[in-house]
Amino acid sequence: MNTAWNYATLAFQPYPDVGEFVNVGVLALAVPARVLAYRLLPAQATARIHGFFPELDIAIYKEGRRRIEAELQRLEATINSTQGEGIRHPRAAAEQPPLPGTEVQADTLFKALTAPRDGLFRFHTKGTRLAADPAALLDALFDRYITRNTAESDDPEEIRLVRQVGDWLEQWKLRRFYHKDVRVGPDEYPIRFPFGFQPDPKAAPQRVIKPLNLDQAKPLQIYDHGDQWVNRIVRLQDLSALPARVLLPLKMPLATRGAGRAAIQAAEEIFAKLAKTRVTLAQADDTKALREFAEIAQETTLTLTA
C-alpha cells in the first residue's frame, strides 16, 4: 500500500552569498508514521562537486559530508526507534529546534528537520510523494534530483506527449498493464522509460514506450536531445539490457508547422540513427501503431498498477 512521504533535497552550497548549489542527497519522512529515510551521494563520487566548484578544496566537501551523514544517521536512529514513545531528546543539531514529540503531526517534525540552517549543507526543494516503500521512494527522488535520470522530461511538449500516450492507454483499457517510470538496464546504467510492461516485478520490462519530441526550435536542441536517446538505446543494446520491444513515438518538425530546413534535417538524422537500432519508430500521433504495439493478450492475468 502506498504511503505519503514529505521529502526534501539536501544541497551542498559552499558559497551562500552566490546562491550556487549542487544536490547531493534526499531526506524523506513518512506521514503520519514518522519513519525517516535518507540517501546521500557516495563519498567517493566527487566529480559533480568538482564540476560545479572546480576551485574548491574537495577535502572541505568530504569533511562536511562526513558530518552531515553522522547527523542523519543519528536522526534516523532516534526517530525510527522511538515511534509511539515520544521523542524528547537533545537538539538534533545546534542550529535546529528540539525534535517534536509524537503528540504533534509528522509535518511539524519534517519542518523542524528541514528548517533553514547555516553551514555547507542546506535543504532546498521540498514536496510530497506516494511510495510503497522507502527504497522505491529514494530511488525515484535520487534519479530525479541527483543523477537526473528519470522518465520525466523538462520539455513541456514531451510532457504533453507522455500524458497523451497515458490517456490513449486508458481509453483502450490497457493502462493497467503498464507501470509508469520503469527502470531498464543494470545498476551501473539505469535508464527510465515513461511506460513499461513488466508482468514480473523482479524481471526486466518486456516492452517499453518513450515518446520523444524532436520538434524543437533550434537544430542544436534536436541533436542534443536526440543523440542522448540514441546513445542510451545503443548502450542498452551493447549491455544486452534493451527490452525485446521498444516503441519511440516521435514528434517530428514539419515545414507545415513553420519548421526550418535545418531543424527538419537534424530530426531526420536522429531518426536515421534510431532506425539502425532495435527499436520501433512511429509518428507521435499514430494511434494505430501505438495500440498495436501496446496491446496485451487478453488471457494475460496481471494486477499491475501505475
Supply the DSSP string of the chain, one letter for each residue. --EEEEEEEEEE-S-TTT---EEEEEEEEEETT--EEEEE--TT--HHHHHH-TTS-HHHHHHHHHHHHHHHHHHHHHHHT-TTT----S-SSTTSPPPP-TTS-HHHHHHHHT----SSEEEEEEEEEEESSHHHHHHHHHHHHTS---S--S-HHHHHHHHHHHHHHHHTT-GGGEEEEEEES-TTS-EEEEEEE-SSTTS--SEEE--EE---SSHHHHHHHHHHHHHHHHHHHHTT-S-SEEEEEEE---GGGT--HHHHHHHHHHHHHHHTTT-EEEETT-HHHHHHHH---TT-------
Per-residue pLDDT of the chain (306 residues; tens, 9 = 90+): 678 899 999 999 998 888 788 899 999 999 878 889 999 988 888 877 877 888 899 999 999 999 999 999 999 988 887 554 443 443 344 444 445 554 456 778 888 899 988 889 999 999 998 887 888 888 888 877 887 655 666 678 888 999 999 999 999 999 999 998 898 998 778 898 999 999 988 889 999 999 999 998 889 999 999 999 999 999 999 999 999 999 999 999 988 777 789 999 999 999 999 999 999 999 999 999 999 999 986 434 444 443
**CA pair distance 299, 278, nearest whole angstrom:** 27
Put residue 22 in one of left, alpha, beta given phi > 0 → left and psi -120 to 50 → alpha.
Answer: beta
Kindly give the pairing relationship between strand 207-209 and strand 191-197. antiparallel
Cell of 249: 513515438
Task: Give phi and psi for 131, each to the nearest 5.
Answer: -155, 150
Q: Which strands, in side-by-side order, build the sheet including 3-12? A: 36-40, 22-31, 3-12, 121-131
What pLDDT, on the 0 to 100 scale, is given for residue 5? 92
Distance of CA 298 to the CA centre of its chain: 32
What pLDDT, on the 0 to 100 scale, is given for residue 195? 95
**CA pair distance 192, 244, nearest whole angstrom:** 16
**CA pair distance 200, 167, nearest whole angstrom:** 24
**CA pair distance 29, 107, nearest whole angstrom:** 8
The alpha carbons of the chain give a radius of gyration, in whole angstroms, of: 23
- pLDDT tens readout for residues 193-216: 999 999 988 889 999 999 999 998
What pLDDT, on the 0 to 100 scale, is given for residue 151? 63
Cell of 287: 494511434
Mark 25-39 as b/e (b = at least 16 C-beta within 10 Å).
Answer: bbbbbbbeebbbbbb
**CA pair distance 261, 255, nearest whole angstrom:** 8
Cell of 224: 542534443
Domains in the chain, ordered, with CATH?
3-145 (no CATH), 156-294 (3.40.50)
**CA pair distance 116, 118, nearest whole angstrom:** 7
Cell of 144: 530525479
Asked if 72 and 24 count as a contact pair (C-beta separation under 8 A), the reply is no
Asked if 189 and 239 count as a contact pair (C-beta separation under 8 A), the reply is yes
